[in-house]
Amino acid sequence: MQELSVRHLLGIKDITPQDIQLIFETADNFKDVLNRPIKKVPSLRDITIANVFFENSTRTRLSFELAEKRLSADVINFSSSGSSVKKGETLLDTVNNILAMKVDMIVMRHSSPGAAHFLSKHIPANIVNAGDGTHEHPTQALLDSFSIRERLGEVAGKKVVIIGDILHSRVALSNIFALQKQGAEVMVCGPITLLPKYIKELGVQVETNVRKALEWCDVANVLRIQLERQQMKYFPSLREYTLYYGIDKKMLDSLNKEIVLMHPGPINRGVELSSDAADSHHSIILNQVENGVAIRMAVLYLLAQKG
Amino acid sequence: MQKRLIVNHQLLEIMVMRLCHQLIENHGDFSDSVILGLQPRGKYVAQRIQATLANILGKQVPTGLLDTTFHRDDFRRREIPIAANATKIDFLVEGKKVILVDDVLYTGRSVRAALDAMIAYGRPASVELLVLVDRLYTRHLPIQPTYVGRQVNSLQSQRVLVEWKEQQAEEDAIWLITKTDE
């Protein structure tokens, strides 16, 4: 007898801890569906979903598309390259044209922070934010927490460190909100130039020494250096970043404890994570991808229920 | 609200026993048969049937739980959304004689959804339906049970409730509930 408190999934900031629980419980059931011989349910057969991607994506777009197809929704895909956006069409016009074709839900990725919020105020469809610039990436944070819950039993009380380019990372911000709402302790770690100035006001711990951060945590979520978003030099060279912040198997083994290693992808092997660390038993990176489909099915299903 | 007892715990026990013997008549030693309880309320009936069969036959008939939430035809049409339950089927349905088990058969829509959900686990050799209560003249779909505990003639505004001790009820019982304007 439960439903979400929101009509759109714009960011983790806007949803309640109960919403997160409901999404997880629903995702448990969908994960079960994904392990059946026939991995498909007819729930969304009368719903059309448009995946509107104004920015590059592999995992998220494939994961959403698969989730939609597993729920029997009709799917159309749009990416800005090769579209009329290049001819000067505005975001609202583009989306309204898509909606004129009777689309019920929009999954959108955009390079501008707040693009999904903007859209939700102007159009009647349900909106799922699949990443808006450096702001939020809610389904990634949900699947990260879901993967922690799967590996460690629960998220509450766990110590999670997010390592890397916090300044440009929507995954970091969504994860901070999601983890705090579930009662986990959060630390961010990275070169001081890549930590937002007021990050402490979110109630997270700040650490610049990756070794100390790893010794503190139960879970390490390692992020990519987002060179495409960096307008200026934040550190001297990638090689230097790797020397100070790169994580390898030797370092993990020397901790004398079990830690869970996560990465939202795409991994730059040899930069933030060495290959032997990424492929070690600590890593749940591929579980994250697997859980992504179940989480996105749950989100789409629960939002469709709200209409 | 008026609550009238239509089956007490002794009668219910006899009813379950009779249904089990009817099952044995058709399924023999249950070598190719499996039981699927429909979530959420068919679970208790299925467990009771399995336990009673175990007493008579001395063996556990494979029993699973089937959730139909994602296969329902009233998604987005209901006032109150329903929460999904776990599906737990740790055997293959392919080629098996399946006995679907639920407490009350009313419109038949849950059973339709269950048939749909079950097919995702393979193609059964045959499917039968066992219900404790068959509400007469209320069907929306051409679905009839194979085994019936009790037929009940009821109004649409009434509700049939099966209670079990496993759900913290005082006694096993079947009630007919009539809503009254207060």
**B156: pLDDT strictly greater than 90:** no
The larger pLDDT score, comparing residue A76 to residue A1, is at: A76
Query: Is the Cβ pair B84, A25 closer than 8 Å?
Result: yes
Identify which of B28, B66, B27 has the alpha carbon closest to the alpha carbon of residue B45. Answer: B66
**A83: pLDDT strictly greater than 80:** no
Query: What pLDDT shows up at residue A69?
Result: 96
How far is residue A257's CA from residue A260's CA, in Å, rounded to a whole number?
10
Query: Is the Cβ pair A25, B83 closer than 8 Å?
Result: yes
DSSP helix/strand/coil, B37: strand
What ipTM was estimated for this complex? 0.74
With an 8 Å Cβ cutoff, is B71 touching chain A? yes
Contacts for A278-285 with beta carbons within 8 Å, 24 or more apart?
A280/A249, A280/A252, A282/A252, A282/A258, A284/A147, A284/A151, A284/A260, A285/A261
Beta-carbon contacts of A8 under 8 Å, excluding residues fewer than 6 positions away, are A116, A120, A126, A127, A128, A129, A303
Query: What pLDDT shows up at residue A86?
Result: 73
**Residue in A3, A38, A43 nearest the CB of B75:** A43
Percent with pLDDT over 70 in chain B: 99
- Residue count of chain B: 182
User: What are the pLDDT digits (tens) for B28-83?
Assistant: 999 999 999 999 999 999 999 999 999 999 999 999 999 999 998 888 777 777 77
Mutation pick from A3, A18, A24, A43 vs chain B, by most beta carbons of B within 10 Å, is A43
User: What are the pLDDT digits (tens) for B19-28?
Assistant: 999 999 999 9
Q: What average pLDDT does the structure give for chain B? A: 92
With an 8 Å Cβ cutoff, is A124 touching chain B? no
Which chain A residues in 246-305 lie under 8 Å from chain B, judged by CB atoms?
A: 301, 304-305
**Residue in A2, A32, A42 nearest the CB of B87:** A32
**A276: pLDDT strictly greater than 80:** yes
Query: What pLDDT shows up at residue B181?
Result: 67
Mean of the pLDDT values across residues A268-276? 94
With an 8 Å Cβ cutoff, is B82 touching chain A? yes
**Residue in B76, B82, B120 nearest the CB of A304:** B76
- Give A78's pLDDT tier (boundaries 50, 70, 90): confident
**A74: pLDDT strictly greater than 90:** yes
User: What are the pLDDT digits (tens) for B114-153?
Assistant: 999 998 888 999 999 999 999 999 999 999 999 999 999 9
Q: How far is A181 from chain B (nearest CA, A)?
A: 22
Alpha carbon separation from B119 to A30, A208, B92 (Å, rounded): 16, 55, 11
CA A73 to centroid of chain Cα atoms: 22
Identify which of A62, A17, A36 has the alpha carbon closest to the alpha carbon of residue A181. Answer: A17
Question: Checking DSSP bridges between strand A105-110 and strand A126-132, what pairing results, if any?
Answer: parallel
Identify which of B151, B105, B162 has the alpha carbon closest to the alpha carbon of residue B128. Answer: B105
Joined together, the tokens standing for residue B38 give: 């429909």
**A81: pLDDT strictly greater than 80:** no
What domains can you pick out in chain A, each with its CATH number?
12-137+290-306 (3.40.50.1370), 138-288 (3.40.50.1370)
**A70: pLDDT strictly greater than 50:** yes
Mean of the pLDDT values across residues B89-96? 89
Question: Checking DSSP bridges between strand A219-222 and strand A159-163, what pairing results, if any?
Answer: parallel
Q: What average pLDDT does the structure give for chain A? A: 93
Burial class (CB in 10 A: 0-12, 13-18, 19+), A230: middle
**B182: pLDDT strictly greater than 60:** no
> Which residues in chain A touch residue B71, judged by CB atoms under 8 angstroms apart?
41-43
- Backbone phi and psi for residue A159, each to the nearest 5 degrees, phi listed first: -105, 120
User: What are the pLDDT digits (tens) for A144-174?
Assistant: 999 999 999 999 999 999 999 999 999 999 9
- Backbone phi and psi for residue B117, each to the nearest 5 degrees, phi listed first: -65, -40
**Residue in B82, B117, B120 nearest the CB of A1:** B82
B118 touches B109 (CB < 8 A) = no
Residue B54, number of CB atoms within 10 A of its CB: 14
Q: What is the pTM of this model?
A: 0.87
Query: What pLDDT shows up at residue B22?
Result: 96
User: What are the pLDDT digits (tens) for A96-113?
Assistant: 998 898 899 999 999 999
Alpha-helical (H) ranges within A129-235 are 138-152, 170-181, 210-216
Q: How far is B82 from chain A (nearest CA, A)?
A: 5
Query: Is the Cβ pair A1, B70 closer than 8 Å?
Result: no
Query: What pLDDT shows up at residue A1?
Result: 44
For the ranges A21-25, A59-63, A229-233, A235-239, which has the lowest average pLDDT? A229-233
